[in-house]
Structure 1
Amino acid sequence: MRLALPFAAAAAALLAASPLVAQEAPCGGDFASFKDGLAAEAPSHGVSADTASRFLAGVRQDPAVLKADRAQGVFQMPFVDFSRRLISQGRIDRGRTNAQKYDSVFNEIEAKYGVSRGVLLAFWAFETDYGAVQGDFNTVNALATLAHDCRRPELFRPQIFAAMKLYESGDIDPARTTGAWAGEIGMVQMLPEDILENGVDGDGDGHVSLKTSAPDALMSGGKMLQSLGWRAGEPWLQEVTLPDTLDWSQTGLETEKPAADWAALGVAPREGTLADLPASLLLPQGRKGPAFLAYPNYRVYFEWNQSFVYVTTAAYFATRLEGAPVFNAGNPDPGLPDAQMKALQQKLVNRGFDVGEIDGILGAKTRAAIRAEQARLGLPADGWPTVELLNAL
């Protein structure tokens, strides 16, 4: 099940289009002319004109891709609801079964790349339900549609040329390869550039087959996470309990303290001991909801997906798969419905805050702005939007 762009797409979004790309294959306009521009540009990426011509011959726009790109409202759900929707006992049981089935593969991943098995199992579960639901969008059509669309062409255009190289090696068939709406392929949903750079032949058959080979997909995902900065042997997320007297304005990803400093403030692990690492204190639904310490590895998740709710849920699920208990949901205040959330974001923008797009989604920028205004107004600065805050603004 695909919910948003994976780490590959998030990382690719940091790339700016070169002047050559902007000149030869601009977004928008006539699609046939757009394809001609891609063909003309292909040799500059090391792809022959003949390969590009054959690759692009049957490519067409897919309106369903654009519809999916515009409809990611699931990320408006609060963390508790979202996590309960994604994490079922069946998914936990299948995760543990797969952990045993591919035990030797996970051992090799942990030895080579330092990525704990729960992390990859959680992504495998959320991205494709352990390979069962990989998407039925034509991959090349999806990439071309999104590169032609002017919302994020700099993200998707490079993927087309990477896909051409995979086509040359026999690992993509423009007519038959399918995957997610955003062009990701396989069990852990990787984009073509990242398959080229981090694809691993985990089963030794001479090909990187992310759609049909779990060892290939898992090994490739582990290598990708290592390349993004995953630190071997370190935790990523830990549930904690908090004192009522905590300074709530210190919570959020913007503040990082040594775990010992958090302990001195009364932050305690629900299980085990705190790691000797810097950490941020996360309150996904404010001071009355669940609480977690996020260690450096947690930030690597944002290279996979940039939704705070998705990232925190995936990180938490990884801990569950490795034995952590169900989180204490607490009794958080009700959140704001879509219209009120957008109204709150607009009020924050009017006060000079950058919240990104006014989309009703409680992202990191909106949370930081809420904390600042809560502190200014003398409210508990826990980053959780409430009717009280909306009315006060």
Structure 2
Amino acid sequence: MPLRKSLALSLLLPAALAQATPGDDFADCLDRLRGAAQSAGVSAASYARFTQGLQADMSVLPLLDAQPEFTTPIWDYLAGLVDEQRVADGKARMSEHADLLRKVAARYQVDPAAVVAVWGVESDYGRITGKRPLLVSLSTLSCYGRRQAFFRGEFFAALKLLQQGDIRDSGITGSWAGAFGQTQFMPSTYARIAEDFDGDGHRDLVGSTADALASTANYLRKAGWREGQPWGYEVRLPAGFDPALAGRTKRRAISDWTARGVMRVDGKPIPDIDSRAAILMPAGKQGPAFLVLRNYDAIYSYNAAESYALAIALLSDRLRGEPGLRTPWPTDDPGLSRAERKTLQELLLQRGYDIGKADGMIGDVTRRAIQEEQHKRGIEPADGRAGQKILKALQGG
């Protein structure tokens, strides 16, 4: 899962805490962190209790440089996150929790569809919240690899949440990076933003859907969400548009963009609301383009990756009943939905590949099987990617 903003504390840790390397003793590292943890508000007793028996998990280190938001083609990333199944499930959740969402919207002035879209992308509506023990991941990343200061701040924040009773299970699991709960907050974000919306005396983003959705709305509000405004629009750019004008931070008045010939793809006028906007071209001149407003920035702050923010934005549109993208991605091999990925795996299993269960999750074993089939069928590049070409080839026999 993506990394959230760190506590300011992570910038103030003692310089004497030299970075550890995989050859250093993990227990020694935890011992060195004890004093800094106490300075951060973790009692000696709590530190001893919650770190007792922790063992490093070195498998999290390669994941620092393998975040899908930055390593996956955007058409693959969005095909799996904004598919028909997630849209249908999201609409069902909005109906199921309609009363709760009305109350959340009334208190935080944030669009319910945006809140539910975050829920859907982050954990598939609470179904997938991560299997890695939170304290193991954060303590390992506090001692090894890049960004140790950041992860130490998050490790100490998690210990404080346990100490205070916000988290009541020291074996709680989450992502490899320490995000957890139904909408995947990092511990420092949890400490600052989480809300006890159900009124039971605990901020529980794991077991309480009310707390999770309210806390997400609170995050977006604090990130600058503007009630009643859209996140943006898919647009058509004029011929000869200068790509150098595009970029999330290159903002102009909406009237400036429309004067240059920028138009919504659906032909509707772009309201000249009191806001500056930016143009995004995530796949270059040939792909979809977007005019994004301040609410897009609020989404982007949740996880600073353009593909992630677009997934939330586009899913929220679909949850409101709006159509999907009108401009195709510039590829001759579009990505697969989760249902299509599962079908692909079933076809590989039928051909004798030992790839485990067909679950729609494309891992290294499935990729190797795909690559072998690509070689056999002369599909180039034989890169192990799960796309429409290999799926259709396998469906054809």
The two structures have a TM-score, normalised by structure 1, of 0.77
SS of corresponding position for 2:11:
coil
**C-alpha distance in structure 2 between counterparts of 1:193 and 1:333, whole Å:** 39
Change (3 A) 1:47 1:73: closer
Residue 87 of structure 1 and its aligned partner are, at CA, apart by 1.4
One of 28, 36, 49 as aligned partner of 1:41: 36
Residue 293 of structure 1 and its aligned partner are, at CA, apart by 0.4
Q: Tell me which residue corresponds to 1:274.
A: 270
One of 82, 87, 90 as aligned partner of 1:92: 87
Q: Tell me which residue corresponds to 1:218.
A: 213
Change (3 A) 1:333 1:86: closer
What CA deviation, in whole Å up to 9, does each residue of 1:333-354 have, x standing for no partner?
A: 779xxxxxxxxxxxxxxxxxxx
C-alpha contact 1:86 1:126 (8 A) present in aligned 2:
yes
**Aligned letter for 2:183?**
V
**Aligned letter for 1:199?**
A
Q: Tell me which residue corresponds to 1:56.
A: 51
C-alpha contact 1:24 1:40 (8 A) present in aligned 2:
no
**Aligned letter for 2:296?**
Y
C-alpha contact 1:128 1:187 (8 A) present in aligned 2:
yes
What CA deviation, in whole Å up to 9, does each residue of 1:194-229 have, x standing for no partner?
A: 212111112222212211111111111111222222
What CA deviation, in whole Å up to 9, does each residue of 1:172-213 have, x standing for no partner?
A: 356421111111111100111221211111222221221111
Structure 2 residue 313 is the aligned partner of structure 1 residue 315: yes
Instruction: Give 5+ residue unaligned stretches, structure 1.
Output: 336-393
**C-alpha distance in structure 1 between counterparts of 2:103 and 2:121, whole Å:** 22
User: How many aligned positions are there?
Assistant: 328
C-alpha contact 2:137 2:178 (8 A) present in aligned 1:
yes
One of 282, 285, 289 as aligned partner of 1:284: 282
C-alpha contact 1:127 1:187 (8 A) present in aligned 2:
yes
C-alpha contact 1:55 1:174 (8 A) present in aligned 2:
no
Residue 231 of structure 1 and its aligned partner are, at CA, apart by 2.5
C-alpha contact 1:79 1:313 (8 A) present in aligned 2:
no
Q: Tell me which residue corresponds to 2:102.
A: 107
What CA deviation, in whole Å up to 9, does each residue of 1:142-200 have, x standing for no partner?
A: 11111112301121111122112211233335642111111111110011122121111
**Aligned letter for 1:205?**
D
What CA deviation, in whole Å up to 9, does each residue of 1:303-350 have, x standing for no partner?
A: 221222222222222222223211123463779xxxxxxxxxxxxxxx
SS of corresponding position for 2:279:
strand
What CA deviation, in whole Å up to 9, does each residue of 1:4-24 have, x standing for no partner?
A: 23xxx2x2187752252x325
SS of corresponding position for 1:12:
coil
Structure 1 segment 236-247 matched on structure 2, within 5 A: 236-247=231-242
Q: Tell me which residue corresponds to 1:23.
A: 16
Q: Out of 39-48 and 149-158, give the one that drifted further.
A: 39-48
Change (3 A) 1:330 1:193: closer
One of 8, 12, 16 as aligned partner of 2:6: 12
The two structures have a TM-score, normalised by structure 2, of 0.76
SS of corresponding position for 2:269:
coil
Q: Tell me which residue corresponds to 1:348.
A: none
**Aligned letter for 2:293?**
Y
SS of corresponding position for 1:230:
coil
One of 75, 81, 87 as aligned partner of 1:80: 75
Structure 1 segment 172-321 matched on structure 2, within 5 A: 172-173=167-168, 175-271=170-266, 272-275=268-271, 276=273, 277-321=275-319
**Aligned letter for 1:109?**
V
Change (3 A) 1:331 1:32: closer
**Aligned letter for 1:324?**
E
Change (3 A) 1:30 1:82: same
Structure 1 segment 133-144 matched on structure 2, within 5 A: 133-144=128-139
C-alpha contact 2:287 2:330 (8 A) present in aligned 1:
yes
C-alpha contact 1:95 1:321 (8 A) present in aligned 2:
yes
Structure 2 residue 164 is the aligned partner of structure 1 residue 169: yes
Q: Tell me which residue corresponds to 1:354.
A: none
**Aligned letter for 1:200?**
E
Residue 26 of structure 1 and its aligned partner are, at CA, apart by 4.7
**C-alpha distance in structure 2 between counterparts of 1:121 and 1:320, whole Å:** 11
The alignment yields a C-alpha RMSD, in angstroms, of 2.3
**C-alpha distance in structure 2 between counterparts of 1:83 and 1:93, whole Å:** 16
What CA deviation, in whole Å up to 9, does each residue of 1:238-267 have, x standing for no partner?
A: 111222243333222242111122112221
What CA deviation, in whole Å up to 9, does each residue of 1:66-125 have, x standing for no partner?
A: 243343356333323321222111110111111121122222222222221121212111
**Percentage of identical aligned residues:** 34
**Aligned letter for 1:302?**
Y
**Aligned letter for 1:274?**
I
Change (3 A) 1:229 1:138: same
Change (3 A) 1:36 1:253: same
C-alpha contact 1:122 1:314 (8 A) present in aligned 2:
yes
**C-alpha distance in structure 2 between counterparts of 1:177 and 1:25, whole Å:** 28
